[in-house]
Each structure stands twice: as C-alpha cells, then as structure tokens.
Amino acid sequence: MPNAPAFQVEPLTANATMPDRVTHALLELIRSGAYPAKSRLPSETEMAQRFGVSRTVIREAVSRLKSEGLVESRQGSGVFVREIGPDTPFRIDPTVIDSVQSVLQVAELRRGMEAEIAALAAERATPEQVKDIRARLQAIDDAVAAGGDGVAPDMEFHRSIARATANPHFLALWDFLGQFLKGTISISRAWEARQEATRSQVRAEHKAIYAAIAARDPEAARAAARRHMEMASQRISTADPDFLKEQRGK
C-alpha cells in the first residue's frame, strides 16, 4: 500500500502485552493524523500482516479503542476513526506511563492542576477541611516513621486539598490522574528516601502548601504547590537511571 502509515510495534514496558503494544501503535497513528477523523482503518487481515501479529491481537486492540470511543464499526463498511466530541474521553496511555519522559509529562500536567487546586483550597476550605489536610500531612510522617513508604498518605494529602476546593470536577480529575500518580509517587518517594536532605526538602514543601492554605493565602498556596511539583519533576529527572529501571520493574 503506497504512502501507508508505518506500522511499528513499540517495545514499551517489560510488562506490556502484544495487544497493549498494538493498541498504543494504533493510538499514535490516530493522534498523529495518519488516520484522521472519519478515515477507515485497514482490515483486520491487513493490519495483522503489517503488524506481524494474529487477527485476535488486532481484534483486541480495536475493541479497546472502541470501548474508549475513539473508533466505531459501521456495518458492512469497516472500522472508522470517530470525530472528537463531548463524549470523547480524556486518555493517558497506561502502557507508557513508567517511562521517565511520560512520568515527567504527567507531572507537567499535574503542576498546573495542583497549583490551582491549592489556591482554591486556600480560599474555600472549611475549618474541618483544614484540619483534615493537616491530619493527612501528619499521616505521611507517621507512615514513614513506621517503616512505610508514605505513598498512600501522600496521595491522600493531595486529594484532601482537591476535596477542599468545593469543585467536584477538580476532585474527579485528581482521581483520574491518581491512577497514574501512584507509581510516579512511589518511584519519587523511593528515590527521595535515599537521602535525608531530600526527605526533609519534600516534607518542607508539603508543609509550605498546608501553611499557605491554613493562612488563607491563595497566592502563597499556588506558589508552594507549583514549586513542589517543579521540584518533584527535577528529582525524577536527575534520579539514577538504573534505580528508576529497578523501581519500574517491581
């Protein structure tokens, strides 16, 4: 087929299955415009030949894209790429989230979100919610002191701030990203735990966010949350590659 998009199965992660890889490859072809809205995907047989996989793998990959509203079947005509609409879901490909680049991309997305969440929490949090944020902050130290990694209470600390915005959409968005943040936070905290100075730095960043919210200072809360996310990205980007590979394999 002349001028046909290149069909390449990326290695992705060690745990990625072949349907994962084909789904990712098709998703990238759609996102890049190689298969624009309203265009028809090749037949199962053609894709199986070009990917070098079975039709069963192709069928599974296409089924996943259908379930996410990205493509649709038309009786007797084939599978077509859907146009972007209100029912098109926001998506982060879970098969690539443990690459350093993808982790940093999610961190960038989170940076702006966390900054505005903290600012709104400083404006709107009830006294009870401020106390809850403080309790979640203390729970991180308690978990670490007990020998834990502090990942779960770390996530709950940030989630409690999202809850204090009184905007259910921020909480829903945080919960969506939380699916991907757990692994990121786990890797970040494991790296930070190797040095006391870094652990103290993270603790100070969390306390600065809480202090600004408790002081009802939106600008300080926004700045503290943004700095925390910027520093988290810096710590991940400067971590030992062998350590990151080891952590992602767990």
Instruction: Give the pLDDT score at 99.
Output: 62
Q: What integer pLDDT is reported at residue 200 of this predicted model? A: 86
- What's the pLDDT at 138? 96
Q: What's the pLDDT score for residue 145?
A: 87
CA atoms of 209 and 221, how far apart (whole Å): 5
Give the E-state strand segments of the chain in sequence order. 71-74, 78-81
How does 204-227 read in b/e, with b if 16+ C-beta sit within 10 Å? ebbebbbebbbeebbebbbbbbbe
Residue 97 corresponds to which tokens in the numbers above?
């989230």
d(C-alpha 186, C-alpha 190), whole Å: 6
Q: What is the CA radius of gyration of the chain?
A: 22
Domain ranges of the chain: 1-94, 100-248
Predicted confidence at residue 1, as pLDDT, reads 38
Residues 100-248, CATH architecture:
Up-down Bundle (1.20)
**Contact criterion met (CB below 8 Å) for 26 and 58:** no
Question: What is the C-alpha separation between 152 and 197, in angstroms, rounded?
Answer: 22
Overall pTM surpassing 0.75 (yes/no): no
Average pLDDT along the chain, 250 residues, taken 10 residues at a time: 53 67 88 90 93 93 88 91 73 59 76 94 97 96 86 92 95 82 67 72 95 98 95 78 58
| Residue 128 to residue 61: CA distance in whole angstroms | 47
CA 125 from centroid of its chain's CA atoms: 26
Instruction: Look up the CATH number of domain 1-94.
Output: 1.10.10.10
